[in-house]
Structures are given as structure tokens and as C-alpha cells.
Amino acid sequence: MTSGESRLAANQRFHLQASEKMGLLIPLYIYPANIHTNADYNRVMELKRKYSEVPFWVVLNPASGPGNAINANYTKAIDRLIGAGCVVLGYVPTGYGKTPIDNVRKDMAAWREMYPRIHGIFFDEMIYDDTASAVDHQTSLNAIARELGYWPTVANPGADTPGRYFAADAADVIVIHEADHWPTQAKLHGDYFGGYSDYPPASRATLMYGQATCDTLAIKMSQRYTRWIYVTQDTYKPGDQAHPNPWDQLSIHLEIICKALTK
């Protein structure tokens, strides 16, 4: 491909991204027992079929990564989610840059070997230091994912992300907010020196937990600046064993979100 053709393809890709509808990024860290009758997985598939125009990206996490052996329940869950029209991503922890690149590569390769229908990778604990070396680290992981045929890639730092990560295409989507409260409009916009306002909304996601109700006006506000969202009632309290994971229950707000995204 010539440089002109490459530029043309990039421009066309940008147009498609800029026109994308807002979709759901669902961390479905729930074991798929009895997959044909599993209430949580079947709820996701039911709503994807009902709201077919809403993109669904579903993240699976067998064992803080792919695990050490194929699990037939996950194989079937992936097949059924894809059959409903969901894009499926495999969870890979990166230890905020402390996990050796070779270890992360092994996790990505294991996902491909054990669950070959997986579409993309969810890099959790993304490094977010505002340095060139940190960006190089994350872009190296993204390049490995590309070599293995993964798309999309989503990276979650769990903290504010410097604009240089977006400039370097460190992932297709970066989670700019993961918390028990809604982000401010200013944070979503990222319009400050070193921010991310110069990069399209399709490159950003927001995740909210601990929400007893779902604020549809906040969804609409988020829609101006991001393209991926999830809101759940599930709770997380650091150090509290009773609330260790905000993503191990399916959101009761799922259909409310779908309805808001179709208006």
C-alpha cells in the first residue's frame, strides 16, 4: 500500500468512527454456567437482538485473563454472544506497565489458541504515566494484538489518560473514566493542554458502577464526547471482601441504556 493509499484508508476509517453510534462496553465477569439457560448471558443476547442498532462489546474474564485450559462453557458463551451480534473481547491484565510484555503476549496468544473466535482484547490496568516510554510500552502491546489479528483493542487505566496515548493509537478505545460517579462534562471533553479533545469520541469509553438509578440525561451528555458506556448498580469498595468486583453482576439498567441510545 502506498503512502497515499494508507492516508486514504485512514481518512475513510476516521469518517466511519466519527459516525459511529454510542454502544455498550460490558465487563461481563460472570461465569457462564448453564449457558443455554444462564439468565445474565441470555439477557445480554436478548437485548442485543431487540436493540440491534446498538453496538454491544462484551468483555469476558475467565481467570483474570484466559486461564490455563479451555473451558467449554466459555467456548459456548462466546459462540452464542457472537451469534446474537455481540463483539467479544478477552480480558488481559497489564499491571500498569509492570507485567512483562512477554507475559502479556502469552495471555493474548492463549486467548487466540483456546478461544479463536474472540474478536478483540481488553487491556486492564493500562499504564498511564505521561512519558514517552510509557506510551511506547502500551503501543507495543497494541501492536502485538494487531499481529495476532485482534480488533478492537480497549485499554483501561482507571485514571485520567494523557492525550499522547490517543495520538499514538495506544488502543482503539481508552476508558477515560471508571468510578462510582458520573464524570463531569469537562472531564469527558478533555479540552486542556495535553488532553484528548483533539481525538474522536469513538476512541473513548466511560464505566460507572454503584448506580442505584440510571441517569439518562447523563448518558446523553456523555454521548457528546464518548462512544462506549456501561452503567451498573454493582458495587466496589477497596479492601472490602463483600464488594470486591463491580463487574460480577449484570447491570439492571441495561435496557434503560439501550433505550436512551436509540432515541
pLDDT at 217: 97
Helix (H) or strand (E) holding 138: helix 132-147
pLDDT at 240: 75
pLDDT at 15: 83
Task: Look at residue 1 and tell me whether its pLDDT is greater than 70.
Answer: no
pLDDT at 151: 97
Q: Where are the domains of the chain?
A: 3-262
Q: Which three cell numbers stand for residue 38?
A: 444462564
Q: CB atoms < 10 A from the CB of 57, how many?
A: 22
Q: How far apart are CA 214 and CA 222, in angstroms?
A: 13
What's domain 3-262's architecture? Alpha-Beta Barrel (3.20)
Q: What is the mean pLDDT of residues 10-22?
A: 83
pLDDT tens column, 159-193? 889 999 999 999 999 999 999 999 999 999 999 99
pLDDT at 68: 96
pLDDT at 25: 98
DSSP summary character for residue 248: S
The residues near 175 (Cβ < 8 Å, ≥ 6 apart) are 25, 154, 155, 156, 157, 158, 204, 205, 206, 207, 228
